Each structure stands twice: as C-alpha cells, then as structure tokens.
A and B are shown apart, each in its own frame.
Chain A
Amino acid sequence: MARASIEVRDLVVRYGSVVAVRGVTFTVAAGEHLTLLGPSGCGKTTTLRAIAGLEKPTAGEIRIGGAPVFSSSSPAVNIPAERRGLSMVFQSYAIWPHMSVFDNVAYGLRVRKRPEAEVTTRVREALDLVQLGELGTRSASKLSGGQQQRVALARAFVFSPSVLLFDEPLSNLDAKLRAEMRVELKELQRRLDITSVYVTHDLEEALAISDRIVVMRDGVIEQIGSPAEIYDRPRNTFVADFVGSANLIRGRRRADLERDGLVVIQTHGGALVHGTAPGRAAGDEVLMAIRTVRLRLERARPATPFNVWPARIRQRVFQGDFTQYHVDWDGRVLIVRVAAPDPLAEGDEVFVSADPRYCVLLEE
C-alpha cells in the first residue's frame, strides 16, 4: 500500500470567536503511527478533522505525501475531503444502518468503480482480517458495538487509503473490549503498514499503539515524543499530570551539589533529590516529577549513595494489580504504587528510594 507522510504547519482553526487550534506544527513520517493525546476540548479532534478535510482551517498548511491539500497562503489550496485519498474511523462508527455489512465495507471500492469481482474479493479479505468473515450479509443495524467497530475498521482500510485517521475509535466500547481491541488494532496497523493518525484521551491507548505521541492542551502542543519519553520525561506539570499519576516535588536548585550530569534540588523540608533535566532550562525554584510506580519502598535502607529517604506508611489501598501506599515524607504525602504483594502495614517505618533517571525536572 502507498504510504504517505503528513506535514501540518502553523495550523489555526477558529469557530467565530473561539479558537480551537492555535498554531500547531508536527509531521508524521510515512508509515508512522502518531497519536494526538489530550483532554476534551484540547483541539485534537479538530486537528484530525482539519487533516481529513472535514474542517476548514483558518490558517496554516497541510501537506499529504508532500503535496499541499490545504494552504491559507497563496496560492490558497483546499482540496475537499473526498479527494484527499485518506480514510477515517469515526468515534460513532458511522455504520450506515440501511446497508448490509458487505455494502458498508464495499462502499469505498464502489465509489472508486472497481469491478464487482474485485470488490467481492477485497471486502471478503477485509472482513476476514477483522474477524467478521461470516457476517457479510447481516444487516448493519443488527450488530453489537464491538462488531460495528470492526466493520468501521474494515470499511476504512479496504480501499487502500494512503493515510488512516482514527477519531477516538474505542471510546464507546466497554473497558474489557477496549483492551482487546487495542491489541488487535496494533496488530492490524502492523499488517497494513500504513500511516496513521490516532486521536484519544486515553493514555494507555496512546502508549500502546503509537510510535510517537503529541500531547495537546487548549489548542497548542505541550510535548511531542515517543511513548516512553512522554511517560518518563514529561516536559511540564500538565503532561506529568495528564499522562498517568506523578508526584510533584517543589524545591530550590542546589547547583553546588550537582555532578555527573545530574541536577539536585532541595525541598523546603530539607530533603535532597537528585534527578535529570533532559535539555531543559530551569530557574532557581523548580518542580520535579516522579511517577508513582518509579518509587520503591523497602524496610531496610538500600545501598545507594543518594535519593534514599526515611518515611512512614500512612495508608494502604489495595487495588488488585497494585497496592497504593500513601507515605509521610518530608512533611507531605507521596503516593507510591507497588505491583508486588507486599507485607507493609500502615504505620510501618520504611525507606523510599528513586532512580535519578526517573526524577525529571519540569519546565514549569
């Protein structure tokens, strides 16, 4: 299949006086799976729809496979959605209730006037790929949510589009099905080997299926990076907070103690925390983020030279996959998640420790 790159430059989308997207720039390499992640109202869906051609941007430029499909500067370009050669899976699935499953999937091929024999073969292949092989003649209105989702998928890729767009495709499924579909979707992406842009507000989904993630808020990009980067090296409090749970520690920079490329801050309670500042400028009063799962709890003092602090268990909350401890530390509460079954009890005196690689200096 033909894979195409996408370039979005200085994209602005305005509805009347409301600015939904205020100057967004990013690129998607051919064959890459990019995810736009952010809370509702951050402009991620609007950005996706602008790429699709369903939303007319106010300014900026969008290129697909190097050719401009929208440009506000001269010569102004705005190619309609149906001629951009993309495809899209909608949040509501948008399954046409008046057609059979087969006709739904065949739509894109029939629009392209493929011979009916080819339509039949390719629709069958697509339905097999999403494991709906036997449902072709079924009326589309008689499908379960998960089945509709699969039909929507098959319909979107059957005509070999150059780019596949996903608008929160899993948000209407229940939690268990969503987890299953996430794995299937990843497998499908690999098999189809196609460029994709995926929109979601679900962190796990974004981490699971993306090569790169764009975190958005209020119409601007907060951070772009690989899932691991986004997770372990959030750029600011918003990303740290939105992307999973993190402890934020405020302190004063102690440049006098820094060596081996590590940064050191001192909390108001006096504790010293060693961490990293991946290419970040920071002032005197700074914030550091540590993921709740990156903190360790031990009874005996571990033999590391720094980032070991005495603490006391205040509360224990058993949550199945992990146990969450609320720990009194340095005059405040830290949250620590431990996956192993642990005999620590409320009131126990323990040591908290953290690898400096996971203590990340934030920009704000």
Chain B
Amino acid sequence: MLVLYPIAYLIQASLSVGDPQARPPEAYGLDNYTGLGRYAHIFGNTLLVAALATMLAVVVGFAMGWILSRTNVPGRAAFEQLMALPYYVTPLMGALAWALIASPNSGFVNQIWRALGGSDHLVDINTPWGIAWVMALFEGSVAFVMIGAVMKSMDPAMEEASQVLGAGRVRTMLRITLPLVLPGVLGAAVFVFAEMLGSFSAALVLGLPNRFYVVTTAMYQLVSQYPPRFPTAAAMGVSLFAVMFAMVWIYRRIVSSGTYVTITGRAFRPRAMDVGGLRWPFLGVCVAYLAVAVILPVLTITYASFQHLTTAFPRAANFTLVNYETALSLDAVRSALGNSLLLGLATASVGVVLMGFLSWLIYRSRLPGAGVIEYLLMFPQAVPRLVFAFGMLWAWLIFPIPIYGTLWLLLIVYLTVFLPLGFRTISGVILQIDRSLEECAQMCGATWGYRLRTVTMPLLKPGLIAAWLLLFIASVRELGASILLMGPKAKVITPAIVESWFSTSTELTAAMALLQTLAVVAALVLLFAVARRAVQPGGE
C-alpha cells in the first residue's frame, strides 16, 4: 500500500496532458512520453555516465574481490573490513571533496598545475568522466561485496584441479576462475548499472555547474523550476523506473539461473593463492583505492572546512574556525541537523519494529501470499529515491491530512524507501534462527509472549541493533527523497548541505558536511553508552 500508492500517482501524472497544475488530470494521453524526444540527450548522458561508472566500479570490484579473497596479500582481513568505508563516505561527500580537488578553476590539482607553469586546467571533474569517477569510487565497494562473495563461494578444488592437470596460474585464472565467476560479475554489473541510473547526488553537485543533466537531476530541475512541469518530470521518472525495473529483473534472472553452480553447501577450506612478489603491488592497489575513495575526500573536506578561502597551498593566516562558528550559529543549520537526528531516531525505531514484524510475518507465519508481500517490500529497491519521492509528492499533496512539508511526510518516505534495507537486514537474522529454537520453547510450555521475550527477542537482538544503526545512518544522510519533499519549515541536513554548496561558500559547506558526520558518530556513541547502561542493571 505504502509502496504502490505513490507509483500509481506517478504514472497518473505522467499521462496527464491537460493543464499541468490540475488535479486530477483533465485529460490523459501519451504526449508526455512522445515529448521526451526533446530530452534524448539527457537520456544519453545518463547512459554514458552510468556505463562509464559501472565499468570502472566493476573493474575495481573485481580486482579488489580477487585480491582480497583469493590471494595472500598482507592484511587481507583488515582490508575486507575497510572496504565498507567508501559506502559510508557517501557519494555526496565524495562529490563535494572531488569538486574541491579537481574542479577546473579552483581545484587543488589545477591550482598546483598552474603554479608549476601549466596553463588552463589539467583535470576537470565537472564532466561525465568526473561524475562517473566519483560514482564508481562509491559503488566500487558495492561491486566488491557482490563479486567477493561469489569468489569466496567457489570451491578452490576447481582451480586446484586445473593446476594438477598442468595449467599455470595465469591460464587457470583465465580459463577456470574467470568463467566460473562470470555470472556473478555480470550480476554485479547489472545491479550497479541500475543503481547508477538512479543516482542523484554526484550528478547534481558536479553536473549542475556545467548544465550537464542526467535524468534524475533533470527531473529535479523540472520540478523545482517555476512553473513546475510535473507531467514531463513524471514521464521521465516512469521511463527511468521502467529501465531500472528491467535491469533489476535481469539481475534476478542472472542470479537465480545459476548456470554454473559454484555454491555447494559443502564447507570447503578457503585457500589463498600464493602470488609471491606480486603481493606488494596488490597491497598498493588496495591502499590506493581506499586513499582515493576515503582518505583523500575526508582529508580534503576537513582541510577546506578550516579555511577562509580554500587553496591548495596552506597559509597560517588562512586557517580559521569561522566556518564552524557560522554553521553552528545559523538557526537553519541547527534546526536542520536537529530535525535530521530526530527523523533518524524515529525512522530507525519505527522501522525496526515495523520491518521486524513484517520479516517475522513473512518467514514465520506461513501466511498465504507471503512471497508476494516479500516481492512488494523489495520494490522500492528498483525505484530511484528521487523518482519515488516525486510520486510521494504527487500522492501526498492531495492527501486529506495536511502532512506535506512536515517531518511526518519525510518519516513516511524514509520508512518506505528504506524498507528493503531494513527488511533484508532483519530477515537475514530471522532466517539464521532455526525455527526449532522457538518450537522447543513452545514444547516446554511457554506461551507466545513468554517465548517472544525469552527466546525470539534475545536471539534477534544483534540483528535488530544492526538494522537500527543502518536505518539511522541512512536516514540522516538521505538526499534524493528529502530534497524534493522537505518543507521550508522542516529542513533536514543533507539537502541543506547541497543548498549551501550552490548558494554560499564552499568552506561553510565542508564544515556542515563534517558536522553532519560528527553528529552521526556522536549520536551513535551516545546511544551505545545509554543502551549499555540500561542493559547492565538488568543482569542478563
């Protein structure tokens, strides 16, 4: 219901050909779709950026996946943990940082280039290549997780058999390893491509200065200009949604067809290939990836946030705390940050209960139609958040309860768009808990409530906490949906950062971005401390 309602309105809007402001539409037609021909270049841009970024991300993911799960590179275990970091840096942070590093006029790299006697600029981040680069850095860790899992699930005996039969390492890699993991790699590529098509923040931050639009940013532009052109934007959204849906469908086909069954259920010894002297170059690759995806952006943002006017060459006089003072003294920023944290708390708390209940319903209650519900729950995954928010905007504008422009609407939207995230995290834990653990409590005579309290909840606790944290972090940093739906009196922090980027100073923006990150970390630390103290006297 929550999921399909906005989509239905989105499609309705896209078919409206009468007065664009009229609700309900005066006439229906396909004009909005035929009119999309004028925007062909935008679709071209989207495909170009997504294709470039996907290729880069998959290459990164494949290389890292292979190095970290199949070779004896030093510090394997630690790097595997660290590979999650780029995901937490988020594309927005990455885009802001890389804009500071490599924008054509004031980017650090180009400043240094000119200082060394070069003319014009060396690199330009405000291009399709630049956008693809930033998105690929971020999605590289997603591709790594997916490809690495496939590589780990492959029985090393298959490679060993090849070596025993006389094939060298390279030959084994090309003729055995690669074909075996190919479906997995292909699956990851399709998944990443679909995500890229719907991605928003990097294209917004880096594309807007050059009037380079992809579908999501064009939609945003169409909606936020005056007069807004909802039907055209809706048609764009529906088209994008259709393509993404097809992509997700293809992805599911690839994953489920399993042409090469490498996952056997039989436990095998993970075996690392001895790559000899190549270990150090491989280590270099890992360090380099983390450097450009995490360390460099974070350092850049930190550096910029302490400057009056950001330049590549530090001068003592240029250092200042004024950006933080400004950021903290602006009511807008303070309230946005407060709103975001409040929303994060609410989304995570309500979400864990709601999604926990749904997962339990689907996997434990043998309800008829549980499969259909599960499919519906995963639906928001296939819809770009901005498109989804657009549908929401359209849907809730006419909702009898006036929640448009309030935090309540954002709460509903967050709960909907993060449904797949929370659901997957919690159901992963539920599936791991053998049903007989609950049945046994029942056989011991425990009633439903007693079982829930003494067996089910304690076993689910780690999963619920993880889901809560994920939801909290994701909500506080949400951009695509919030930017369309927040009202002037109920701002949240991430869109505020983007606004600040376009309307005030770079340095202030950097300070805000860092403050957001720090606030998330601080909130988490505080919560953990409180939770631990609350648990301790209980005794268990």
Residues on A lying within 8 angstroms of B by beta carbon are: 52-54, 80-83, 85-88, 90-92, 94, 96-98, 107-108, 111-112, 155-156, 159, 165
Contacts and interface: CB of A to CB of B under 8 A. Distances in A.
The list of the 6 closest CB pairs from A to B, nearest first, reads A108-B444, A94-B440, A94-B436, A88-B443, A90-B436, A81-B442
A195 to B, nearest CB: 15
B445 A92 contact: no
B439 interface: yes
A82 B442 contact: yes
A111 B445 contact: yes
Contacts of B454: 107
A86 B442 CA distance: 10
A107 B443 contact: no
A274 B437 CA distance: 54
B447 interface: yes
A54 B442 CA distance: 9
B445 A112 contact: yes
A91 B436 contact: yes
B459 A81 contact: no
B18 interface: no
Contact of A159 (B440, B444, B450): B444
B331 interface: no
18 contacts: A52-B443, A54-B442, A81-B443, A82-B445, A82-B447, A83-B445, A87-B443, A88-B440, A88-B443, A91-B436, A94-B436, A96-B437, A96-B440, A96-B441, A111-B445, A155-B440, A155-B444, A159-B444
Interface string B419-458: 0000000000000001011011111111100100011001
B459 A96 contact: yes
Contacts of A86: 443
Contacts, number: 59
Nearest to B434: A92
B464 to A, nearest CB: 14
A111 B444 contact: yes
B442 A107 contact: no
A156 B447 CA distance: 17
Contacts of B447: 82
B437 A94 contact: yes
Given A97-B459, A98-B458, A107-B454, A92 B436 contact: yes
Interface in B384-443: 434, 436-437, 439-443
A165 B454 CA distance: 23
Contacts of B440: 88, 90, 94, 96, 155
A277 B437 CA distance: 47
A111 B459 CA distance: 18
Contacts of A80: 442
A197 to B, nearest CB: 13
Given A94-B434, A94-B440, A108 B445 contact: yes
A111 B450 CA distance: 8
Contacts of B439: 54, 81, 88, 90, 94
A83 B445 CA distance: 6
A159 B459 contact: no
A87 B441 CA distance: 10
B441 A107 contact: yes
Contacts of B445: 82-83, 85, 108, 111-112, 159
A85 B443 CA distance: 8
B455 A87 contact: no
Contacts of A111: 444-446, 450
A165 B440 CA distance: 11
Given A81-B442, A83-B445, A88-B439, 10 more contacts: A54-B443, A80-B442, A82-B446, A88-B440, A90-B436, A94-B437, A98-B459, A108-B444, A111-B446, A165-B443
